[in-house]
A and B are shown apart, each in its own frame.
Chain A
Amino acid sequence: AQSVAQPEDQVNVAEGNPLTVKCTYSVSGNPYLFWYVQYPNRGLQFLLKYITGDNLVKGSYGFEAEFNKSQTSFHLKKPSALVSDSALYFCAVGGAGGYNKLIFGAGTRLAVHP
């Protein structure tokens, strides 16, 4: 069965510092992985995805993520955090189920302090 774990409920970082939001997954076959962000009272916004190819994926708003097959991880990163990055972040995985039947992690709240 597919599963996603986001081990941190909340991540706190100072503005200007690098940030990492962690995600590990379990899926049979080749995974495809997504990161979404949710701002208060809004729907989810797509940030980036990994399907195949380069393990380092670049996405919207300066975010990037690194796919590590041996560690079954897909951590979200940004070199320099902004206060406006404060939001709820979700990792999702799809695989053999087809039709984009994604499994989402529980979410990680990112708080960037001035």
Chain B
Amino acid sequence: DAGITQSPRHKVTETGTPVTLRCHQTENHRYMYWYRQDPGHGLRLIHYSYGVKDTDKGEVSDGYSVSRSKTEDFLLTLESATSSQTSVYFCAISGMDKREGSRAEQFFGPGTRLTVL
């Protein structure tokens, strides 16, 4: 999985508790992304980062925050988990293709299955 790890791989939590998911890469890629996967929706972008301390919102960012203090780590936090945030979360990375600039393909981690009861 292209030098990407996610932790934890599985988590069960209760409504209202904070949750932090971690993505770690060993590829030294500039861009990092958090997606959620839900049946019938494919993957939807939550937040992304284009460098250390540089992040921006995706299409489903409400209820989520992110931080990137080092190139290799990108954290996703659910401040107060809700049942609607039960999902599989994927981290992805991409570099700068020398020929195509920022339009390089993304590589995905193995995913974290989060259940909010």
Task: Please list the residues of chain A having a beta carbon within 8 angstroms of any beta carbon in chain B.
Answer: 4, 32, 34, 36, 41-46, 49, 51, 90, 92, 94, 98-107
Contact = CB atoms under 8 A, between A and B. Distances in A.
Nearest to B35: A104
B105 A46 contact: yes
Contacts of A104: 42-44
Contacts of B4: 43
B102 A46 contact: no
A110 to B, nearest CB: 15
Interface string B91-108: 010100000101111111
A98 B102 contact: yes
A29 to B, nearest CB: 12
Interface string B37-58: 0001111110010100000101
B74 interface: no
A100 B41 CA distance: 18
Nearest to A95: B103
A43 B104 contact: no
B107 to A, nearest CB: 7
B90 interface: yes
A105 B90 CA distance: 16
> 10 tightest CB-CB pairs across the interface, nearest first?
A43-B108, A104-B42, A44-B108, A104-B43, A46-B105, A106-B42, A32-B103, A43-B110, A51-B100, A107-B42
Nearest to A91: B42
